[in-house]
Chain A
Amino acid sequence: MINFFQPYAEYGGEWLPVLLDAMLKTTLLSISAFALAVVFGLLLWFCQASSAPSLRHFASLYVTVVRGVPLLAVLFLLYFGLPGIGVTFDAFTAAMLGLALCFAAQVAEVFRAGMMAIPKGQREAALAVGFTPGQCFAFIILPQVVRVVLSPMIVTFVSLLKDSSLASLITVDELVLTGRAMATEYFLPLQIYIAVGLCYFLVAWPFSLLSRRLAVR
């Protein structure tokens, strides 16, 4: 046991700034990918709710494909595959785009479920008292949907944060890739990968607690 903890005492000072830096990168990647996923997810949700059959078919095909294809395959296609047909992204952009494309389906599903929780009468009543459909959506429906979707959205963010670790496999220097580099440098894979795991835990756990607290209400 002494042997296990000793490297932390010895190298902790060197590891900490490097890990914090990588944590920042992971967080940055996750937040920007999540923001993009919300935008894509909302677009997808509008397609699903649209009255045009072609848009609805597109949305349902999109959701099926995204649910059936692993994120890793999407990331490899975007980063290694697309240059073959002349489209090149840097690793960070490819990771952000891949995560956003995959999580858009989940975001759309969260919004759909949230929308279903709002009784139809709300809209009918708002229209009856003279709100325009746009006003009705913005002032009556949306504020309520946001309250319902907040907790599942945070759960989605935590999944995205964890899946951002796959970006290490397309050379984004986030937590896992930084951990790998450190593991080869110090030959202490157990201690380093546990430290990396704890870094994720420190970011993800507060969000998990928050989502549970919000869900109870």
Chain B
Amino acid sequence: MNSLDPFLIILQGLLRGAGITAVVTFSALALGLALGFALSLFRQFSPSKLLHGLIDVYVEFFRNIPALSHLFILYFGLASLGFRLSSMGAAILGLGLIGAAVTCDIFRSGFKSLSPGQTEAALATGFTPLQTIFTILTPQAMRIALPSLGNFAVQLLKDTSVVSAIAAPEIMFYARSMVTSSFQTTLIYATAAGLYLVMSLPLMQAVRMLEIRYGRVK
């Protein structure tokens, strides 16, 4: 027995949740990016005012209400209608839907920052509107959006800690359950915080490289 033992036992316990944290982060990220990109395309390029209004309502609702509140509606609320989601399902769906609202705004500001001349020139040289959107505008908007998307991913990784409140077995969930059995509260939560930090550092480094590469940092 040496003095590092309690720490290692705690770390081992918390690592059981790290996999779920990663799964929830990546799944919610994928859902958020796909849905958010689709929403931004419709919001930016569809002529329908009704669709614009609906997307705006979606974005406002998901951006002005806390994640915890959405998760409770999905997990406890829907269950009362007989619509039972697993805690993982509710976690991924909830964070993904919120993520879609956030990334929709990020993609849109990417599209909005492109000069209208791009579209006009592409159409004038014979690109169809869809070709213009996907081969001319999207790659440029992506470049502008990348650093913000990276920041969103870092935020999302941290936000997965909230899903412990609906009993998804990720890092924070194990931390809380270990506290009730071992009473080494300070060490357990400090280790959990450190584990999140270690997981987000590579992501943060990637964001910094994107920012330097795409010229946000002067």
Contact = CB atoms under 8 A, between A and B. Distances in A.
B197 A193 contact: no
A22 interface: no
B161 A73 contact: yes
Interface in A6-41: none
Contacts of B172: 70, 72-73, 76
Interface string B176-208: 100100001110111011001101110010000
B149 to A, nearest CB: 16
A165 B94 CA distance: 15
Interface string A188-200: 1111011011101
Interface residues of B, number: 44
Interface residues of A, number: 46
A149 interface: no
A212 to B, nearest CB: 11
B60 A208 contact: yes
Contacts of B79: 189
Given A67-B154, A197-B70, A183 B76 contact: yes
Interface string B60-73: 11011111111011
A140 interface: no
Contacts of A76: 172, 175-176, 189, 192
Given A68-B196, A70-B161, A201-B64, A193 B69 contact: yes
A205 B186 CA distance: 37
B73 A77 contact: no
Contact of B186 (A72, A84, A196): A84
A85 interface: yes
Contacts of A169: 165
B103 interface: no
Contacts of A123: none
B164 interface: yes
A176 interface: yes
Nearest to B159: A70
B121 interface: no
Interface in B153-176: 154, 158-162, 164-165, 172, 175-176
A193 B76 contact: yes
A29 to B, nearest CB: 13
Which of A67, A68, A196, A204 has the most C-beta atoms of chain B within 10 angstroms of its own C-beta?
A: A68
B77 A165 contact: no
B80 interface: yes
B81 interface: yes
B64 A77 contact: no
A81 B162 CA distance: 18
B85 interface: no
27 contacts: A67-B200, A68-B199, A70-B161, A70-B162, A70-B193, A72-B172, A73-B189, A74-B193, A76-B176, A77-B186, A80-B189, A81-B189, A81-B190, A85-B186, A158-B64, A176-B72, A179-B69, A191-B77, A193-B72, A197-B65, A197-B70, A198-B65, A200-B66, A201-B65, A204-B64, A205-B64, A208-B64
Interface of B: 60-61, 63-70, 72-73, 76-81, 154, 158-162, 164-165, 172, 175-176, 179, 184-186, 188-190, 192-193, 196-197, 199-201, 204
Given A70-B172, A71-B158, 6 more contacts: A76-B176, A162-B65, A164-B66, A196-B69, A200-B64, A204-B65
